[in-house]
């Protein structure tokens, strides 16, 4: 009886991925055709966070919930980074100054305004106008 070396089977339908948020690493094995939404929801559930509170990146590129590992050309062992979603509640007129500045004087302290057009800028849909707070 001649023994032939066993061939290692590679599972071409599944992929092993790691999701890391800097404090936790969770490993997932999913089908290459499964929408990333399933992995993202599972990670959020295990971490006690909502999908809206995190953004997922692969090599600096944002992952869409509709993407699949196959769409993204992911390989076994690739790492997906989960980052807190950042939001801004400034007036919309001073955001670039605020974000580029480190001094507290440049932080937007605009009060909510009822008639934005009277003040020289149109309201932005869905953003609202609110008082911004400097970092502590």
What is the architecture, at CATH level 2, of domain 14-84?
Roll (3.10)
Taking 50 as the pLDDT cut, the residues of the chain under it are: 7-8, 96-107, 113, 115-117, 119-134
Domain-wise residue ranges, the chain: 14-84, 87-136
CA angle 79, 81, 86 (to 5 degrees): 170
Share of the chain residues as helix, strand and coil, in percent rounded to the nearest 5: 20, 20, 60
Q: What's residue 14's pLDDT? A: 95
Cα–Cα distance for residue pair 89/95, rounded to 1 Å:
9
Q: pLDDT for 29-60, tens place per residue?
A: 999 999 999 999 999 999 999 998 999 999 99
Q: What's residue 2's pLDDT? A: 53
Q: What's residue 86's pLDDT? A: 72
């Amino acid at each position: 009886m001649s023994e032939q070396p066993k061939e290692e089977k590679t599972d071409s339908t599944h992929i092993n991925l790691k999701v890391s948020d800097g404090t936790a690493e969770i490993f997932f094995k999913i089908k290459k055709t499964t929408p990333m939404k399933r992995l993202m929801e599972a990670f959020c559930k295990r971490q006690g966070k909502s999908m809206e509170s995190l953004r997922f990146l692969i090599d600096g590129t944002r992952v869409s919930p509709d993407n699949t590992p196959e769409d993204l050309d992911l390989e076994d062992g690739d790492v997906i980074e989960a980052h807190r979603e950042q939001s801004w509640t400034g007036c919309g007129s001073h955001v670039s100054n605020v974000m580029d500045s480190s001094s507290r004087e440049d932080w937007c302290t605009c009060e909510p305004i009822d008639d934005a057009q009277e003040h020289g800028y149109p309201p932005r849909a869905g953003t609202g106008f609110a008082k911004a707070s400097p970092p502590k």
